Structure 1
Amino acid sequence: MTTLRGSQKSSKGAAAYSRFVNRPLGRVFAALAASLGLAPNTVTAISALFTFTGLVLVATIPPSAVLGIGVALLLGIGYALDSADGQVARLSGGGSLAGEWLDHVVDAIKTSSVHVAVVIAWFRFTDLAPGWLLIPLVYLIADNARFFGLVLSDFLRRLDRGSSKMILKREGTTSTLYSLAVLPFDYGLLLLSFVLFAWMPAFVVLYGLLTLANVLVLPVAFRRWFREMKRLGSA
């Protein structure tokens, strides 16, 4: 566990759930995976199994309290395992480009699928007017744009410094206040929102607020990343 702590990704830019809940849980799963001799890609596959099982349930079973809690748990375990695969890779010497590619592809599919599952559930199991179904579609676009911008920015930073390795914990930090401020953009908060799935009006309001927050902040994030890339390109 001590070795895993030293192999953590930088907390720079990390939101509160990902930083204070998901990564510590991922560290536990990574230690278990390492003790079982599981490869990072195997951990990625197990993560995907938990995540997409939860999303299939959202799209196919009528909302209930049990379903909401079960989905939140499945997505939470999947998210923690998503953190664990990278930690296992770094523990074994840094992983591979193929492993990182697989991880990002699974994340990209997940980023789209969670909102597709929501729009299917709203269409099948609620009496919401058709216009409400646009909310998950808008969230999907904003979430995908943010994810691509984040991944591409990280890739270009590494390209600029001539390294394929990600920034480790000791190389960058973010204040606790910042981590709390960016919580609305954290996948962890989105997965926790499914606890409200049985109380659809509350879920719709929370999901709608998260959509609005992501849409409003996206131009700010793009501007910051673009200016950073310009600085890197002129250095």
Structure 2
Amino acid sequence: MNRPLGRLLASVAHAAGLTPNQVTLISAAFTFTGIALLTVVPPSIGLGVIVWLLLAIGYAWDSADGQVARLRGGGSLVGEWLDHIVDSAKLVSLHIAVAIGAYRFFEPLEIEWLLVPLVFTIVATVTFFGMILNDLLRARIGAPQAAQSGGSSPLRAILGIPTDYGTWCFMFVLWGWASGFMVVYTLLALAAVLYLAAALVVWFRKMKALETHP
């Protein structure tokens, strides 16, 4: 849903004369406000809904910055740089915030459970960097990007739902129900681990194949 909403926000932003970088910063403001609330406000159903909305709105604005760039005639290197810096920061910060919030407010809490958000942080970071690195290396040798070479499919999209950032946003509606959130979060972390393990095998094979790219 973030792309249709992003198109609407892009139209509004373009009409208001906002630059793509300003749209990126608006996205960051919503996202990091939601992340910060996880660490400082005691959990509740109401807080969970607020965090979900803040993260979801930030996600929609994140998809709008590229569309604003296209409406203005094309993006820029600094705009792409800023977008990726914000994305990498939010992926790490989100799971660290879960660890901090759970440690502060979830009682009783087995301390071993905090390994879950820490592992999730590593997996999310490696997955994001892997995708960026794949495209960087493809561009280096003039190979088509993953999206241009049929890198996605309906099946892959379905399998990727548990690892999608939009799914992660929605799970925070359970933030006021500690045990329920912990179960769902752990299952999503496991799905992310399995997805990354499979993706690394595929990516490695594709990189090997690209070594023979003319």
TM range (shorter): over 0.9
> Match for 1:44: what amino acid?
T
Q: Which of 42, 47, 50 does residue 62 from structure 1 map onto?
A: 42
| Pairing 1:102–2:82 present | yes
Deviation per residue, 1:115-157 (Å, 9 max, x gap) = 0110001100012111011110000000100010011112222
Instruction: State the percentage of identical aligned residues.
Output: 52
Q: CA contact under 8 A between 1:68 and 1:194: conserved in structure 2? A: yes
> Match for 1:41: what amino acid?
N
**Residue in structure 1 matched with residue 156 of structure 2 by the alignment:** 178
Q: Which of 104, 110, 127 does residue 146 from structure 1 map onto?
A: 127
Q: Which of 86, 89, 100 does residue 66 from structure 2 map onto?
A: 86
Q: 1:107 and 1:174 mapped to 2: Cα distance?
A: 21
| Pairing 1:52–2:32 present | yes
Which ranges of 4 or more aligned residues in structure 1 deviate by more than 6 Å? none
Pick which of 61-70 and 210-219 moved more: 210-219
> Match for 2:164: what amino acid?
D
Higher relative contact order (CA 8 A, sep 6+): 1
Q: 2:146 and 2:127 mapped to 1: Cα distance?
A: 19
Deviation at 1:187, TM superposition (A): 0.5
Consecutive unaligned residues of structure 2, counting only runs of 5 or more, are none
Deviation per residue, 1:164-198 (Å, 9 max, x gap) = x9967xx7584434322210110000010001111
| TM-score normalised to structure 1 length | 0.85
**Residue in structure 1 matched with residue 202 of structure 2 by the alignment:** 224
Q: CA contact under 8 A between 1:58 and 1:118: conserved in structure 2? A: yes
Q: 2:25 and 2:146 mapped to 1: Cα distance?
A: 22
Consecutive unaligned residues of structure 1, counting only runs of 5 or more, are 1-20
> Match for 1:188: what amino acid?
G
Tell me: CA distance 1:230–1:53, structure 2 relative to 1, closer, same or farther (3 Å).
same
